[in-house]
Structure 1
Amino acid sequence: MGNNNYLANIIRERRAVKNGYTNKEVKEETIRELLETAIWAPTHGMRQPWRFIFVGADQLPTFAKKVASTYPEERQQNREDYLNEPNAILVVVMEETDVQKQWDENFGATASMIQNFWLLAWEKQLGVVWKTNPHIYDPKVKEILNVGDNEKIIGFVHLGYFEEAPAKKDRISLDEKFSTFNG
């Protein structure tokens, strides 16, 4: 399979980039290009249960205002400012099902696809953070985005190019998380 150090390094170096974005525009064509590869994630029954809503820089202020309006009045300005921080947002939507096994499989596939996207973006110094703020659960936000009854917003993926990577945070030692079954 060749040398896997490159992939191992990308996996270990990837960070959540929550701020400190440059002014470089995040273009729809770039996101589409990354997604063309990211969607090759494992997916049970080839269901590919995801879809995407891209919010570019030109639409971000309107989008931020609409989503912020679903919050209590005293929180709206804070939330609007927060949603205007990234250069673009990718809303990831997952198809839901009443069958728990399939729901779990769909979520696993969608999470895997997001990880693929994140690693591919990292290579291009495009910062990513997967946000699951309260608004993703709000029926009014689903309505604003035309998300169906049989769909779930998995997250708002905040996007922006960066120059300086966030500091590394250590992981818990594998020894603390690993055991061998001894029937």
Structure 2
Amino acid sequence: MGQSNLAKVIRERRSVKKGYTNKEVTEGTVRELLDTAIWAPTHGMRQPWRFIFVGHDRLPDFARKVAETYPEEKRENRENYLNEPNAILVIIMEESDIPKQWDENFGATSSMIQNFWLLAWEKNLGVVWKTNPHIYDQEVKKILHVAENEKIIGFIHLGYFDEAPASKNRISIDDKFTSY
């Protein structure tokens, strides 16, 4: 029995961290992908996410502002790093003071990101979920108008690519599975 299309996409999906082409990642494309990605499981239908799209034209200004939150000696490196993708999608999650709801919100948001990633892969749009130190920085939260009860989950770097990264093996399920 052959692999389903979904199984194929799951197994072939890669993190595309560099080697982006100049093809523009449009807001329309990102919105289209998100429109399906948000069908992820979400406890209590809380849908705890929101998004900030930084397109290619706004990226240099955005990268400079975020880089300025770093110590002087790291700023140029961080600005260059943030200008590598064609666009960035910032994922913000509503936090809860109730640990169970916080975990559920994070699980739902992570599932939504995986959906987005798989849908993007089908369109040859490269994605990598970045959790660099700036996502925890209060100044970056101010730049992005992130509320007190919200958390930046990650910067999703986006860009089209010509060559997919090599596959990396996974640990066998036999090494990670037991029966009770």
In 2: Cα distance, 1:18 partner to 1:43 partner: 28
TM-aligned CA distance change 1:172 to 1:114, over 3 Å: same
Secondary structure at the residue paired with 2:109? helix
**Partner amino acid, structure 1, of 2:178:** S
- The amino acid across from 2:82 in the alignment is L
Q: Which amino acid aligns with 2:18?
A: N
Q: Please tell me whether residue 66 in structure 1 is matched to residue 65 in structure 2.
A: yes
**What residue number does 1:80 align with?**
79
- Could you tell which deviates more after superposition, 127-136 or 3-12? 3-12
Deviations 1:58-106 (A, max 9, x none): 1000000000000000000000000000000000000001000000000
Residue in structure 1 matched with residue 171 of structure 2 by the alignment: 172
2:7 maps to what in 1?
A: 8
TM-score by length of 2: 0.98
1:3-152, aligned counterparts within 5 Å?
5-152=4-151
Query: After TM superposition, where is structure 1 displaced by more than 6 Å over at least 4 residues in a row?
Result: none
The Cα of 1:18 is off from its aligned counterpart by 0.1
Distance 2:97 2:22 in 1: 43
Q: Give the secondary-structure state (helix, strand or coil) at the position aligned to 2:163.
A: coil
**Counterpart secondary structure, 1:163:** coil
Gaps of 5+ in 1: none
The alignment-based identity, stated in percent, is 76
Offset of residue 23 of structure 1: 0.4
Q: Secondary structure at the match of 1:146?
A: coil
* Deviation sequence 1:17-39 (CA, Å, 0-9, x none): 00000100000000000000000
Per the TM alignment, residue 163 of structure 1 is displaced from its structure 2 partner at its CA by 1.1
Residue 161 of structure 2 aligns with an amino acid whose one-letter code is: F
What are structure 2's unaligned runs of at least 5 residues? Answer: none
* Alpha-carbon distance, 1:4 to partner: 6.1
Residue identity in the other structure for 2:72:
E
Q: 3-state SS of the aligned residue for 1:89? A: strand
> Residue type matched to 1:26 in 2?
V
RMSD: 0.8
Count, aligned residues:
179
